[in-house]
């Protein structure tokens, strides 16, 4: 179940792009916002490196016991390998997934300066904007609102 939530969290990034347009900001210093959620079984961190409202690097990390997902360790490894294959070769996107101490540990990073937004849309990593165009940037404000609405604390 948490695997599905992990994928949904990445999709939350996707959903929040629908209204994005370019802000043209190149003068603000790079800053970092970290959003976290942790309970007795789940540990999730979303890190946004940004300039103004534009997210430059998005990192999503999760640690979830594979048994919580009601899958075996072999099934968890199969899922991790499948995801790695799906993301392989996508410019600006790196994915690491492993089993560690009976947990699924995942880290997905999207460097939006290296990524091609059209490729991210075509690979269903992010959606097109509401008007069907390729988004120009990812909004920090929208991602923060999304994370907080999902119960994460952002600082």
Measured between alpha carbons, how far is 82 from 87 in angstroms, rounded to an integer? 9
Q: For position 108, what pLDDT does the model report?
A: 96
More confident residue, 15 or 87: 87
How far is it, in rounded angstroms, from Cα 70 to Cα 76?
10
Do residues 84 and 95 make contact, with C-beta atoms less than 8 angstroms apart?
yes
pLDDT value at residue 125? 87
Whether the predicted pLDDT of 27 surpasses 50: no
> Has this prediction a pTM greater than 0.95?
no
The whole-number pLDDT of residue 131 equals 87
The superfamily CATH assigns to domain 2-19+30-147 is: YehR-like (3.30.1830.10)
Mean pLDDT, range 9-28, rounded to an integer: 41
The domain ranges of the chain are: 2-19+30-147
Q: What is the arithmetic mean of pLDDT over 45-72? A: 95
Nearest to 35 by CA among 155, 127, 132: 155
Residues 6+ apart with CB under 8 A from 140: 33, 48, 50, 52, 53, 54, 55
Tell me what the mean pLDDT of segment 115-138 comes to: 88
Residue 60 pLDDT exceeds 90: yes
pLDDT for 1: 42
Alpha helical stretches, state H, the chain: 2-15, 73-87, 117-122, 140-149
């Amino acid at each position: 179940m948490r695997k599905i939530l992990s994928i949904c969290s990445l999709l939350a990034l996707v959903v929040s792009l629908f209204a994005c347009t370019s802000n043209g900001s190149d003068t603000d210093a790079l800053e970092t916002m970290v959003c976290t959620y942790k309970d007795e079984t789940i540990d999730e961190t979303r890190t946004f490196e940004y300039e103004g409202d534009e997210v430059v690097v998005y990192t999503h990390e999760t640690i979830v016991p594979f048994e919580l997902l009601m899958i075996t360790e072999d099934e968890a490894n199969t899922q991790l390998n499948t995801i790695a294959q799906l993301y392989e070769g996508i410019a600006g996107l790196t994915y690491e997934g492993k089993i560690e101490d009976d947990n699924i540990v995942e880290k997905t990073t999207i460097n939006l300066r290296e990524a091609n937004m059209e490729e991210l849309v075509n690979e269903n990593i992010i959606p097109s904007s509401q008007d069907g165009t390729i988004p120009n940037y990812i909004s920090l404000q929208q991602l923060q609102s999304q994370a907080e609405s999902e119960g994460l604390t952002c600082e």
